Structure 1
C-alpha cells in the first residue's frame, strides 16, 4: 500500500466516520500519528506479531509507571526542550539559564521556607557528604528577584527519590525555597548520586535492545518561577561524574554543569553551623520575562502529589 492509499484509509476510518462533535485538534493529531504509524508498518514490513509485541510493551510500560522514564530515555523530553529553545530564539528570548528535562520524579507539596531550608532528614548524614547549594535568582539584566519560588529535588545516596522510595521519609530531599530580599536561596542537603533505570524494568529492556545503558549522572532538579517571568525547568549535573556527558536522558547541557567544591576551613565550617567539612555548589539562576508571542513555559502533565 502506498502512502497516499494509507492517508486515504486513515481519513476514511478516523474522519469520515464521525457522526458527532469533533475535537479538531485531537482529530488532527490522531490522523497524523496513525498515518505515520501505518506508513512505518508498511515501510518496515512489520509483521502482526511485531506490532502486537509493541503494543504489549507499551501496556507493560504503562502498568510499571515507566512511560515518563521512557520519554526521557528515547530523547522525547530532550527533543521538546530543543523545540522550545528554537521557539525562544525565533521570538528573541535570550539570556536565561538553560532549560532541561523535568524527568518523572517531581512531587508537589514540598515544605516551604524563605531563604534557607535543610532538605535531608539526617538519616544519611553520618556516611554521606554534606552539600550546601546556594545561589541568586535574577532577571537577564542582573536585577535580583526576591520571593522567587525555587523548588528543588534530588536522589539520596542510593539514587532513590522519596515518595517513590517508600523507605524514605516524606519529602526527604525535596524543598521549596522562596528567595530572600537579596534574591538568595540556600539549601543544606547531602550529596546526590546518579542512578540507573530499574534493571528489570521496561525502559532498560528497550535500552538493552538498542545497546544503550540507562544511567544518569549525579544531578539536582529545579523548578523556578516568579510573577511576570517564564517558569524555568532545569537541573544541574555535577562535574566529575562518569556519566556527565553520557546521560541516558540527554539532560546535560552547557551552562548546567556544577562543580562541588570541598570546604575544609574550620572558620567556614563553623560559620555554616556544621561540624565537619562539606561540599559547596553555587548555582545562580537567570529568569527571562514572560512574552506573549511564544508558547507557555508551564507544561501541563500529570505529576505526583503527596
Structure 2
C-alpha cells in the first residue's frame, strides 16, 4: 500500500473530530494530548502491521492491568518514570538549577499522612524480626547550611518485601514516618533492614517483562520525600551498596549519589549511643542536599494521585 491510511486527510480530520476540535467545550490541553495519542497509535498500528488479534489482546491487557492496579508498576518497569527524572534533570541543567542530592523515582507505594515527630521516630511496630536499623543524617542546602524544620518523609518495605497499607497483615503506617529535622538539620529513625522484592509473578507487569526477557526484581531500598520552605522538594531513594540488584533494578531507580553503605555492627557501646536494647544492629547514615528556590510551586511534591490511609 503506497499511501498510509493513517496519514490521509480523511483520517486526520476524523481524529480531530473524535477529540472535539470541532467544538469550543472541554479541555484544549486534553484535546491536544489525545489527538497526538490517536495519531501515533494509528501510525504504529499501520507501520508495524498490528493484527486485529494483537490489538484486542492489548485492550484486554489494559483491562486486566487496571483491575490489578499495576499501571504505576508498569510505567516504572518500562523506564517511563525514570525518563521523567532524566527529562527534569535536563531542564534543570538548561535552567542552571542543577545540583544537590539526585532525584529518582517515587514508585507506586507511597501512602500520605504518616505520623510526624520531631527529630526522631521509631518506624517499625516491633513485630517484624528483622535486623534493627538506625537511619540518620542531615539535611542541608547545596552550600552545606543545615536546614532546621525540614520534613523527612520516609517509607520502606518489610523483611518480606511488602509495604503497609498494601499488605493488610501490617499495622497502619508500619515502616512509614515523617520526621522534622532538629535545629542542626538532623533526622534519626529506628527501623529494620528492608528487603528487596519483585513484581507479582502472575501480575500484568511481569507478564510484559517476560515478553521482554527481563526479571522484575528490585534491590533493597528506602524511599524519601525531603521538603522545606524555600527549598525545592526532593523525591528520591537510597539503595544499598553490594545488593545483587543494585545496578540491575527493573525500575531503573539506582543512580550515582544514591547508594548508601549499610554497616552491620556488633558493639554494645555503639548500641548505647543510639539507646538501643540490642547489641547487633545495622547503621545507615545518609545526608541530603536540597536546592534553594524562590517559587513556592517548587517546594511542593507533584500532584500525582496517592493513597491515603483511613485510620
TM-score (norm 2): 0.93
Once the two structures are TM-superposed, the CA of residue 94 in structure 1 deviates from its matched residue by 2.1
User: Where does structure 1 lack aligned partners over 5 or more consecutive residues?
Assistant: none
Once the two structures are TM-superposed, the CA of residue 14 in structure 1 deviates from its matched residue by 2.7
Q: Where does residue 305 of structure 2 map in the other structure?
A: 302
Task: For 1:255-294, list aligned pairs within 5 A.
Answer: 255-274=257-276, 275-292=278-295
Larger mean Cα displacement after TM superposition, 1-10 or 254-263: 1-10
Q: Where does residue 135 of structure 1 map in the other structure?
A: 137
Larger mean Cα displacement after TM superposition, 274-283 or 115-124: 274-283
Task: Return the alpha-carbon distance in structure 2 between the equivalents of residues 13 and 157 of structure 1.
Answer: 50
Q: After superposition, what is the alpha-carbon deviation per residue over 1:137-179, rounded to whole angstroms, capped at 9, x for unaligned?
A: 0000111100101000000000000000000011110000000
Once the two structures are TM-superposed, the CA of residue 22 in structure 1 deviates from its matched residue by 3.5
- 1:98–1:234 Cα contact (<8 Å) kept: yes
Task: For 1:20-59, list aligned pairs within 5 A.
Answer: 20-59=24-63
Task: Return the alpha-carbon distance in structure 1 between the equivalents of residues 106 and 121 of structure 2.
Answer: 21
Q: After superposition, what is the alpha-carbon deviation per residue over 1:47-92, rounded to whole angstroms, capped at 9, x for unaligned?
A: 1121111111111111111111111111110000100101110110
Q: Where does residue 89 of structure 1 map in the other structure?
A: 93
Task: Return the alpha-carbon distance in structure 2 between the equivalents of residues 70 and 280 of structure 1.
Answer: 33
Q: Where does residue 75 of structure 1 map in the other structure?
A: 79
Once the two structures are TM-superposed, the CA of residue 297 in structure 1 deviates from its matched residue by 6.2
Once the two structures are TM-superposed, the CA of residue 12 in structure 1 deviates from its matched residue by 4.2
| Partner of residue 189 from structure 1, selected from 185, 191, 201 | 191
Q: Where does residue 16 of structure 2 map in the other structure?
A: 11
Once the two structures are TM-superposed, the CA of residue 11 in structure 1 deviates from its matched residue by 2.4
Once the two structures are TM-superposed, the CA of residue 3 in structure 1 deviates from its matched residue by 5.1
Task: Return the alpha-carbon distance in structure 1 between the equivalents of residues 99 and 87 of structure 2.
Answer: 17
Task: Return the alpha-carbon distance in structure 2 between the equivalents of residues 60 and 87 of structure 1.
Answer: 35
After superposition, the CA RMSD in angstroms is 1.7
Change (3 A) 1:294 1:36: farther
- 2:137–2:188 Cα contact (<8 Å) kept: yes
Q: After superposition, what is the alpha-carbon deviation per residue over 1:95-151, rounded to whole angstroms, capped at 9, x for unaligned?
A: 2100000000000111110100010011124xx211111010000011110010100
Task: For 1:114-133, list aligned pairs within 5 A.
Answer: 114-125=118-129, 128-133=130-135
Runs of 4+ off more than 4 Å? 291-297
What secondary structure sits across from 1:234 in the alignment? strand
Q: Where does residue 227 of structure 1 map in the other structure?
A: 229
In the alignment, is residue 199 of structure 1 matched against residue 201 of structure 2?
yes
Change (3 A) 1:150 1:90: same
Once the two structures are TM-superposed, the CA of residue 8 in structure 1 deviates from its matched residue by 4.1
Task: Return the alpha-carbon distance in structure 2 between the equivalents of residues 292 and 103 of structure 1.
Answer: 26
User: Where does structure 2 lack aligned partners over 5 or more consecutive residues?
Assistant: none
What secondary structure sits across from 2:101 in the alignment? coil
In the alignment, is residue 180 of structure 1 matched against residue 185 of structure 2?
no
Task: Return the alpha-carbon distance in structure 2 between the equivalents of residues 147 and 53 of structure 1.
Answer: 51
TM-score (norm 1): 0.95
